[in-house]
A and B are shown apart, each in its own frame.
Chain A
Amino acid sequence: MSLAQLAWNKQIPADLRIFDAHSHFGPSHYTTTYLHPLPMEESLALAHRCGIKRIAGMALGALGESDAVKMNRWMLDACEQFPELMLYFYYKPMQHQALMEQLEQMKKHPSFFGIKIHPREDFSSLESREYDAIIDYAAENDMLVLCHTWDTEAVCRPRSFERYLQQYPRFRLLIGHMGGTYLGCQDTLELARRFDNVYCDINGSLYSGIWLEELVKKAPEHKFVFSTDETFNDPRIILGRVFFSALPDRLKEMIFCDNIERAVGKRLI
């Protein structure tokens, strides 16, 4: 049976490797929209029930006007308690010095996965020089950077990364949501075609007007990475998008796990 048939019959194979490369956990006072996080145990149970084996997440409470140092510590504690979790270290320019010191320590932890930035939530911009230091550091240390992008948000458009990608050939970038909109997707795909270390986070491109089967034709197949955007979005949305698409099973397996392993250069599951 195909993966689609197995998923339809609620028989997702136990040995199918699904890695969620973009997630958020924990308490927050996020008020722009109502979010409905589940307790950690229930949240992980839901993910496992749907076939997700491992998750790279950041502390939701680190976004915006909050202490990212404290919330990174919270997330690392969660990773130690739940081994299926891996840490996205959250960086924001407004706490640069303290976060760089914390990163120096946390990068050695076995649960460390990469760096997450979200210019919109942190009142900063990729168009300024505020992220130069962290991107320089990430490139130097071969760390993956995941950035929230949305083409209609001037502070975090995918195309703003072009200068960094030209400057740092080793810079590994996962473009969150692929820029969200149709134009954002087009720019993301162009960067993925031009730069070896650019990867496309397929979460968020649901409303780009490009079905997944068509999306994967527009850049090398190993560039597309599965993620859920939990706790903003439900993991079942993007799981269904991959499982029930008309893509061949081998490509689904690449999207679910192989491609992110290639991006970070190590086996994750």
Chain B
Amino acid sequence: MECKDVNCGFYGFRRAGLRASTYDEVRAVCAQFGITACAWYHLDRSGAGVRESNEITLALCRQNGGVPVLRLLPPAFPLESYTKEEMERLITQERAVFRIHPGRDASPLKDWVFDWMFPLLNETGTPLLVSLQEADLGELAAFKQQFPEVPLILTNTTQWLNRQYVCFLRRFPKTYMDTANVIEYYGLENLCDVVGPDKLLFGTGMPDKEPYDKFFQLLYSDLAKEQIELIAHVNFERVIERRRGV
């Protein structure tokens, strides 16, 4: 079973409690389980800063393949955020996608906060990842109404918001969710029924959680082979790897 992981990160140091936490360790787990591509994200906030962490991700993806996921801060302070020219280069030449942290980075998902950045994502059809643990679905809905061409990927969903995110995914085109936190009873099958398999992207949530559950969930699912393939890797290819302008 080929899988491509839309929600895969790494730390810059060995972290207690995690069997794999550094890039090399997480990559080894990916190889062990047949994950052939990842959207890589640097989780380490220590040291030099966000731009430098993003540079490490870019360098690793250039060297080993995979899609770089870059932490996006609003254009408030030049020392930490990208210029428009830099961001255009990252999108077109590095094939980067972006992740924002409305909560952790105190950067709410508002057009007046991200200024020209959201129109640029919209113009280029560049995917944006955001954890449902940090985002407000009302704000996400307003964002999608304003920037409909941005493929928006909800990660780390929670079953306690399942009514809301199902309605959100059904209402707005180019919205997706990853499977990392889909633990609900019969959840994968049920989501395929109510939002469709083309909205679901395989995600492990590594290294903060183990990936093992995600393989068993797919292997022993009641889904059709075509649905499993969509979730496991085809949607990743369509939304992330073969997107417009890449």
Expressed in whole angstroms, the Cα–Cα distance for A238 and B214 within the complex equals 10
Please tell me if A239 contacts chain B, counting CB pairs below 8 Å.
Answer: yes
Count how many chain A residues have C-beta atoms less than 8 Å from C-beta atoms of the other chain: 40
Please tell me if B162 contacts chain A, counting CB pairs below 8 Å.
Answer: yes
Please tell me if A10 contacts chain B, counting CB pairs below 8 Å.
Answer: yes
Please tell me if B217 contacts chain A, counting CB pairs below 8 Å.
Answer: yes
How many pairs of A and B residues are in contact by the CB < 8 Å rule? 108
Please tell me if B80 contacts chain A, counting CB pairs below 8 Å.
Answer: no
* A residues 206-261 in Cβ contact with B at 8 Å: 206-215, 230-234, 236-246
Expressed in whole angstroms, the Cα–Cα distance for A206 and B182 within the complex equals 12
Residue from A34, A182, A242, A243 with most neighbouring chain B CB atoms (10 Å): A34
Q: Please name all residues of chain B whose beta carbon is closer than 8 Å to the beta carbon of A209 when the two chains form the complex.
A: 17-18, 208-209
Interchain CB contact under 8 A, B210 and A32 = no
Interchain CB contact under 8 A, A50 and B184 = no
Please tell me if B215 contacts chain A, counting CB pairs below 8 Å.
Answer: yes
Given A34-B162, A209-B208, residue A233 in contact with residue B185 (CB < 8 A): yes
Expressed in whole angstroms, the Cα–Cα distance for A265 and B60 within the complex equals 53
Name the distance in Å between B150's Cβ and chain A's nearest Cβ: 27
Given A237-B183, A239-B216, A243-B216, residue A33 in contact with residue B18 (CB < 8 A): no
Interchain CB contact under 8 A, A7 and B160 = no
Please tell me if A35 contacts chain B, counting CB pairs below 8 Å.
Answer: yes
Interface size class of chain B, counting residues whose CB lies under 8 Å from the partner chain: 20 to 34
Please tell me if B213 contacts chain A, counting CB pairs below 8 Å.
Answer: yes
Given A212-B210, A234-B185, residue A244 in contact with residue B216 (CB < 8 A): yes
* A residues 20-47 in Cβ contact with B at 8 Å: 32-38, 46
Interchain CB contact under 8 A, A32 and B212 = no
Q: Please name all residues of chain B whose beta carbon is closer than 8 Å to the beta carbon of A210 when the two chains form the complex.
A: 17-18
Please tell me if B116 contacts chain A, counting CB pairs below 8 Å.
Answer: no
Please tell me if B186 contacts chain A, counting CB pairs below 8 Å.
Answer: yes
Expressed in whole angstroms, the Cα–Cα distance for A206 and B204 within the complex equals 12
Q: Please name all residues of chain B whose beta carbon is closer than 8 Å to the beta carbon of A37 when the two chains form the complex.
A: 185
Please tell me if A8 contacts chain B, counting CB pairs below 8 Å.
Answer: yes
Interchain CB contact under 8 A, A35 and B185 = yes
Interchain CB contact under 8 A, A236 and B19 = no
Interchain CB contact under 8 A, B160 and A33 = yes
Interchain CB contact under 8 A, A241 and B185 = no
Please tell me if A49 contacts chain B, counting CB pairs below 8 Å.
Answer: yes
Interchain CB contact under 8 A, B216 and A240 = yes
Nearest to B193 among chain A residues (CB) is A36
Residues of B within 8 A of A (CB): 16-20, 33, 159-163, 166, 181, 183-188, 190, 208-210, 212-217, 219-222
- A–B pairs, 12, beta carbons within 8 Å: A36-B187, A207-B209, A212-B212, A214-B18, A232-B159, A234-B188, A239-B216, A239-B220, A240-B212, A240-B213, A241-B210, A244-B215
